[in-house]
Amino acid sequence: MGLREVWRLMSRFNSSKRTNIILQHLRMSKHTDAAAEVLLERKGCAGVITLNRPKFLNALNLSMIRQIYPQLKKWEQDPETFLIIIKGAGGKAFCAGGDIRVISEARKANQKIAQDFFREEYMLNNAIDSCQKPYIALIHGITMGGGVGLSVHGQFRVATEKSLFAMPETAIGLFPDVGGGYFLPRLQGKLGCFLALTGFRLKGRDVYTAGIATHFVDSEKLGMLEEDLLALKSPSKENIADVLETYHAKSKIDQDKSFILEEHMDKINSWFSANTVEEIIENLQQDGSSFALEQLKVINKMSPTSLKITLRQLMEGSSKTLQEVLTMEYRLSQACMRGHDFHEGVRAVLIDKDQSPKWKPADLKEVTDEALNNHFKSLGSNDLKF
């Protein structure tokens, strides 16, 4: 509907009340079209972002990023918007990651989408981190890769018993991006390094215990939590935190369950303290326990290049700011797009689904320091800038 048609419609109504109703309808319909991939709505005191691709587990694409970013910036400046909530439609996933199949397939036709997607995704990750309004991610269901980037940098992250967290990128010839080089080394001990190299999945309350989520709420109470947040009148950050804390304190599911990795944490801290992937593998082999050998089996299936990139990414990221990490990760993303393993990983896992990627090089020994250094090289004028 163009501007001319809007004014024609308005001219039929003398009442300013009716005019306001029409304008409100037009504003809402722009954002709440059922077919839209992302819904952007003002509700109560909040701006609400709903990732709306449930058939694709709310996988994030460039079109969604280009809608979320400017709206986030508008709400941040709007004095009537006191908080921002982001959630996923469908109940199965918050967001299962970036729509990487599209990115890989676009290489044949249009290389630019790989530049635009990662650049704009990382800009959004940074905008979430620096957002001046309380940002609440309801990470109910599958939350991986790009979905972690949409949540973990926000002030509040609410997990439920249905939450499933993972950074599985080494299995597709990539690396745990979206600021993984920043938040993973800041988890307890060497947990982040373990999660990054193995793609180990955390479920339910463990997502909170690990420090990925800030709160845990039973999923049946999630709707009530959202209603209570929206009903707040001009809330402060403390008011919002109080509501989240109240729901967290009342959550009962798996309340007394110990962290799934608790009995292994001392060993994980020891094994993954090594400075090279080869040493980590040696540590696992020498340990010989069933848990160690299980992780060894997993790591041996991953892209050797991805493993080496990831370990260095986390080591360097541990002392960098988020913006510095995202700049580093943009360089890495573009190197991976030019290489073999990412496209082979997408083929094996998402296209042919044979789960048998043929990595090049296929052996850690063949991933040279020179090849690794090239991944981290500046892109000059094409670098990501904030």
Residue that is written with structure tokens 């003002």 in the block: 42
Show the domain range for 248.
Answer: 38-253+261-382
Grade residue 14 by pLDDT with cuts at 50, 70 and 90: very low
The per-residue pLDDT for 111 is 65
Q: What is the C-alpha to C-alpha distance for residues 172 and 266, in angstroms, rounded to an integer?
A: 29
Structure tokens at 325: 């990490």
CATH code of residue 295: 3.90.226.10
Grade residue 27 by pLDDT with cuts at 50, 70 and 90: very low
Q: Give the rounded percent of residues in the chain with a pLDDT score beyond 90.
A: 88
The per-residue pLDDT for 136 is 98
Are the beta carbons of 133 and 186 closer than 8 angstroms?
no
- Give domain status of residue 23, yes or no: no
Q: What is the C-alpha to C-alpha distance for residues 34 and 100, in angstroms, rounded to an integer?
A: 24
- Give domain status of residue 4, yes or no: no
Q: What is the C-alpha to C-alpha distance for residues 369 and 374, in angstroms, rounded to an integer?
A: 9
Which residues, including other chains, have CB under 8 Å from residue 299's CB and lie 6 or more apart? Answer: 197, 198, 277, 280, 281, 284, 307
Cβ burial of 221 (10 Å; 0-12, 13-18, 19+) is: middle
Return the DSSP state at 353.
-
The per-residue pLDDT for 207 is 98
DSSP-derived pairing of the beta strands 38-43 and 46-51: antiparallel
Residues designated as active site: 98, 146, 169, 177
- Give domain status of residue 283, yes or no: yes
Which residues, including other chains, have CB under 8 Å from residue 254's CB and lie 6 or more apart? Answer: 161, 204, 205
- Give domain status of residue 21, yes or no: no
Q: What is the DSSP string of 283-345?
A: HHHHH--HHHHHHHHHHTTS-HHHHHHHHHHHHHHTTS-HHHHHHHHHHHHHHHHHSSHHHHH
Instruction: Tell me the per-residue pLDDT of 218-277, one tens digit each, with 9 for 90 and over.
Output: 999 999 999 999 999 999 999 999 999 999 999 999 999 999 999 999 999 999 999 999
Instruction: Tell me the per-residue pLDDT of 334-378, one tens digit each, with 9 for 90 and over.
Output: 999 999 999 999 999 999 999 999 999 999 999 999 999 999 999
- Domain count for the chain, please give it: 1
Grade residue 110 by pLDDT with cuts at 50, 70 and 90: low
Are the beta carbons of 218 and 253 closer than 8 angstroms?
yes
Query: Which of 25-29, 46-50, 122-126, 236-240 bottoms out in mean pLDDT, i.e. has the lowest?
Result: 25-29
Instruction: Tell me the per-residue pLDDT of 295-349, one tens digit each, with 9 for 90 and over.
Output: 999 999 999 999 999 999 999 999 999 999 999 999 999 999 999 999 999 999 9
Q: Which helix or strand (DSSP H or E) is residue 269 part of?
A: helix 265-271
Beta partners for residue 166, in sequence order: 144
C-alpha 142: how far from its chain's center? 10
- Give domain status of residue 25, yes or no: no
Structure tokens at 40: 């952007």
Residue 361: cis peptide before it, omega within 30 degrees of 0: yes
- Give domain status of residue 7, yes or no: no
- Residue among 94, 122, 302 nearest 194 (CA): 302
- Give domain status of residue 104, yes or no: yes
Distances (CA, A) of 367 to 99, 177, 303, 315, 372: 27, 20, 10, 18, 7
- The pLDDT of 170-190, averaged and rounded, is 98
- The pLDDT of 69-86, averaged and rounded, is 98
- Give domain status of residue 31, yes or no: no
